[in-house]
Amino acid sequence: MDLVSRLQEVLKRKEELEVRRNEILDQLSKLKPEKGSLEYKYVINKVGKRYYYWYLRKWENGKLRSIYIGHSIPHSLLKIIKDRKK
């Protein structure tokens, strides 16, 4: 291979990588990650029975907050968690 053809291949590969990079950046811009972690904890009622609930724990303004979610995790929150992993 001569130098010119090798250089053309490298430039073509560079363009392909730039296109792929732009696709990835576009996908990342559409994600909406949520900081924090899910916690499954119980609450005891007056007669001593335990009830389990999901909470989202995250730091806000230097304090750790527990945000009540409920008995099950909503699909929208599961999507946000998957987005964060990406």
Q: How many domains does the chain have?
A: 2
**Region 63-77 average pLDDT:** 79
The DSSP result for 22-50, as a single string, is: HHHHHHHHH-----SEEEEEEEE-TTS-E
Q: How wide is the angle at C-alpha 55 spanned by C-alphas 50 and 56, nearest 5°?
A: 165
What is the domain extent for residue 70? 34-86
40 and 4 within one domain: no
65 and 48 within one domain: yes
7 and 41 within one domain: no
pTM, to two decimals: 0.47
Which pLDDT score is estimated for 49? Answer: 92
23 and 61 within one domain: no
Q: For residue 9, name the pLDDT band (cuts at 50, 70, 90).
A: very high
As a whole number of angstroms, the distance between CA 33 and CA 59 comes to: 14
Which pLDDT score is estimated for 16? Answer: 93
38 and 25 within one domain: no
Average pLDDT, the chain: 81
Amino acid, single-letter form, for residue 64 = L
76 and 51 within one domain: yes
